[in-house]
Structure 1
Amino acid sequence: MALSRSHCWLPVALLACSLAAVATERPDPLNASAAVPTFTPPSAFTGYSRHGDTRLQSWKDANDAVGRIGGWRAYAREASQASRPANAAPVTPAASESTGAPSTPHGAPHHHH
């Protein structure tokens, strides 16, 4: 049985692979003086793009804008509508919210006179 040309190169290729494996043997992790390849971690800022300049307004103007749109209740209503399904009934504010009067929390002391 005659060997084809591709089979002749097989022992040579195996020898080359084994020599390469010996040459790239890992250093002993218990040997403190073993040579270790250097590692340069990637920067956390790789790919960072600076946020564009935004025009800031004064705190008074910001407070006035919040008051015009309905205060914190408008933000709360907007957040609750975003999480509600489209076919759900609208949320009606509690009596204390509509009058603006603070309600007594359950854990607050009761003053009986």
Structure 2
Amino acid sequence: MATSNHLPPFRALLPWTLALFAGAAFAQAPADTEAPQPSLPTKLQYSSAIGAYQTYADQQVQSWREANDRVGQIGGWRAYAKEIKTGKSASVKDATPSSDPHVGHHGGGTP
């Protein structure tokens, strides 16, 4: 007994399927037209990206020996690292004088 396939080919059903989906999309309820609209600013403000720009100013030149001595009095690179970490600037009066000038070398130990 032979069975016959009475289903139309897929290509014949495709336009009807698309028309059905398009009709279903248009039949949906419209979006709420009374949704609150975001309020727009009434006063526009402009701030320039380079408005706070400060021109370069030369720093006072000092002797390199004085600069190195000051860094040594403050506490060396550790004082600057602490300054960055805490946000407070290092100064000579905050430095604790050490009797041993090599206390920071080699992890504090002796060679």
Same fold (TM over 0.5): no
TM (normalized to structure 2)?
A: 0.29
Asked which structure has the greater RCO (Cα within 8 Å, sep 6+), the reply is: 2
